[in-house]
A and B are shown apart, each in its own frame.
Chain A
């Protein structure tokens, strides 16, 4: 008994501080994609990390007498990865929100910022009140996102990176962007067509995130931060990076309570599922005729047509659909101004068209040559032979593969969140952050995907059976 209890007791007693001391270093995480000025690769020497948070952590680790090691982690998953134990601290522009406070431990603020509203130069919509009924961009799950959600009537457009919101604002896809002063200064106000409409919509602060139970490590971090602040070290770091310091935010009286997983959230999920289903079905409706044309072009076209069809198929199969969506939405935006939903359907449709082309081609090639010969011998033209004899047979062969692709498309459609479309998976991640739990939203999300894909599979199986049964003789009443 004592043999078992002893290591167990050690495990429980092992505090966060003791753990990092045993490691000899603090493992801290951020996302390099967040870029300048937080933590990013030195453009002159990409093997080195630079940024004000790098300097902050080095000063902090110095105070604690420890080394430090950076761990790259996708920004939106910093909290779950911390809870998993992948690292000890999150130091990456983590905003102090009530939702976050309920889930992990937070240090004292190390930087205070203002939420700033940026608009196109000369715009008349210069306040959140004026923006009622208009589109405002921000980062998903940020403090700004929370502020915007407290303003009914504003249509929120969510992004994953801090460059894209301002690019879409320039392109008139949105009418304003609400983000913190560091991002607004670096990424928004550096564009000549944009200007500041409200420099101080609200205040917020960056904090360091720690795992629950690491209270002594949090206390050590807090006193180290206090000492750095008192010695003017923090001030020197911010001055070096030209970051304007603001007084700490006044506690907000109207702070919304953390969201609960209620019917309203479920309604949002249903809406997200609707978007997922609509995008998938419309993209497939585009992919099938496109694939068929490509397959026919590749099999029967003249030299150049054949080459173009082949080139298209290899290009769209051989490059990531994510990249294709980016190019369609952001890359060609100066030439063709596609709305996000149209870009999503077109992008997925064009990508899946390449796969459908190969499915259709294989199905057509599986038909014996004798069928074409028999059709030709009857005097049918090549077009008639295709339409009346070959394609109806190919469709049967291709149906299982096409069903498979449609189900894959249903899930791949979650990629379109990178071009601001909120579909089921995106809704799940937003809700999960709001309600501080992934379990229920994740389960509901999975159930909804299954609820969509399973009936599709059943429907296809029924259709297949119908086509098979068409091979059976219908019962005919004997003539009297």
Chain B
């Protein structure tokens, strides 16, 4: 198991956001994390790479374990971040750098790869996400879909063992979602991915498993057809009815 989560709890002040999550992910699985907004999906994802500290429970990811109440800027988290990639809803590319520099930044400075090798691989990754001709462009000159594809290439450049994607298509116009989703479909099966998403088509056709979150609990966990057609809980049934 490349991800193992036990009894994960998290509160924002008085509000309990995660109420004891237990879950496991095998290598090269694609997990679609779905559920109504406010269910704790994004918080859960951020707990997995330490961007949000949790109160109780344990996380083992990519061979490393994460302790409760580790501050997000703790130096101890750096090896973990190098093995767990993250893609954000609003891309968060570095606006002062070109696409190529965005992608090669972490390999150069975290992994200390030689410049030529890092840039060569960055170019290859940008080609892989269909942006081989936009290496010199800055984020502001790219469309939202293109920016998100650069962000995926940036995360892949660290050769992560697990890739976390937090609603990667929610900030995009419908016509741009397809280009990002097709990149993710190409990655599925070769990369371990956890994708928080509202794209039911993606969850049903690309994911190996669907997790349904509701009020801080993981209420469904199974193959897409089983979870979407025969949910075990009423709340999951209500959710799928609503998004159809």
Residues of A in contact with B (beta carbons under 8 Å apart): 368, 370-371, 373-382, 384, 388-389, 392-393, 396, 470-474, 476
- The answer to whether A376 touches B51 (Cβ under 8 A) is yes
Cβ of B78 < 8 Å from any Cβ of A?
A: yes
Q: Contacts A376-B72, A380-B110 given; indicate if A371 touches B94 (C-beta within 8 A).
A: yes
- The answer to whether B95 touches A393 (Cβ under 8 A) is yes
Residue of A377, A471, A476 with most chain B CB atoms under a 10 A cut-off: A377
The 6 sampled A-B contact pairs (Cβ below 8 Å) are: A370-B90, A373-B51, A374-B88, A380-B109, A384-B110, A473-B138
Cβ of B123 < 8 Å from any Cβ of A?
A: no
A226 to B91, CA, bound (A): 91
- The answer to whether B92 touches A371 (Cβ under 8 A) is yes
- The answer to whether B81 touches A377 (Cβ under 8 A) is yes
Cβ of B158 < 8 Å from any Cβ of A?
A: yes
- The answer to whether B158 touches A373 (Cβ under 8 A) is no
Which residues of chain A come closer than 8 Å to B141, judged between CB atoms?
471-473
**Residues 10 to 68 of chain B near chain A (Cβ within 8 Å):** 49, 51
Which residues of chain A come closer than 8 Å to B92, judged between CB atoms?
368, 370-371, 373-374
- The answer to whether B94 touches A382 (Cβ under 8 A) is no
- The answer to whether A379 touches B81 (Cβ under 8 A) is yes
Which residues of chain A come closer than 8 Å to B136, judged between CB atoms?
473-474, 476
Shortest CB distance A367–B (Å) = 10
Cβ of B106 < 8 Å from any Cβ of A?
A: yes
Interface size class of B (residues with CB under 8 A): 20 to 34
Name the one of A370, A373, A379, A473 contacting B78, with C-beta atoms under 8 angstroms: A379
Top 7 closest pairs, chain A to chain B, by CB: A379-B81, A374-B92, A378-B106, A379-B82, A377-B86, A379-B110, A370-B92
The residue of chain B having its C-beta at the shortest distance from the C-beta of A387 within the complex is B109
Which residues of chain B come closer than 8 Å to A473, judged between CB atoms?
134, 136-138, 141
Which residues of chain B come closer than 8 Å to A380, judged between CB atoms?
105-106, 109-110
Cβ of B114 < 8 Å from any Cβ of A?
A: no
The residue of chain B having its C-beta at the shortest distance from the C-beta of A393 within the complex is B96
A368 to B109, CA, bound (A): 22
- The answer to whether B110 touches A370 (Cβ under 8 A) is no
Which residues of chain B come closer than 8 Å to A384, judged between CB atoms?
109-110
- The answer to whether B106 touches A379 (Cβ under 8 A) is yes
Shortest CB distance A216–B (Å) = 75
Which residues of chain A come closer than 8 Å to B96, judged between CB atoms?
392-393, 396, 470
Shortest CB distance B75–A (Å) = 7
Which residues of chain A come closer than 8 Å to B75, judged between CB atoms?
381
A371 to B137, CA, bound (A): 19
The residue of chain B having its C-beta at the shortest distance from the C-beta of A370 within the complex is B92
Cβ of B154 < 8 Å from any Cβ of A?
A: yes
The residue of chain B having its C-beta at the shortest distance from the C-beta of A375 within the complex is B94
- The answer to whether B73 touches A378 (Cβ under 8 A) is no
- The answer to whether A378 touches B138 (Cβ under 8 A) is no
**Residues 158 to 185 of chain B near chain A (Cβ within 8 Å):** 158
- Give a binary string over B77-113; 1 marks a CB under 8 Å from any A CB, 0 the rest: 1110110011010101111100000000110011000
A396 to B94, CA, bound (A): 13
The residue of chain B having its C-beta at the shortest distance from the C-beta of A367 within the complex is B95
Cβ of B140 < 8 Å from any Cβ of A?
A: yes
- The answer to whether B81 touches A376 (Cβ under 8 A) is yes
A381 to B141, CA, bound (A): 28
Name the one of B81, B134, B140 contacting A378, with C-beta atoms under 8 angstroms: B81
The residue of chain A having its C-beta at the shortest distance from the C-beta of B110 within the complex is A379
Which residues of chain A come closer than 8 Å to B88, judged between CB atoms?
370, 373-374, 377
The residue of chain B having its C-beta at the shortest distance from the C-beta of A368 within the complex is B92
- The answer to whether B94 touches A389 (Cβ under 8 A) is yes
Q: Contacts A370-B92, A374-B92, A393-B95 given; indicate if A470 touches B158 (C-beta within 8 A).
A: no
- The answer to whether A379 touches B72 (Cβ under 8 A) is no
Residue of A371, A379, A382, A470 with most chain B CB atoms under a 10 A cut-off: A379
Name the one of A370, A376, A470 contacting B73, with C-beta atoms under 8 angstroms: A376
Which residues of chain B come closer than 8 Å to A378, judged between CB atoms?
81, 105-106, 110, 154-155, 158
The residue of chain B having its C-beta at the shortest distance from the C-beta of A300 within the complex is B73
Residue of B51, B88, B96 with most chain A CB atoms under a 10 A cut-off: B96
Which residues of chain B come closer than 8 Å to A388, judged between CB atoms?
105, 109
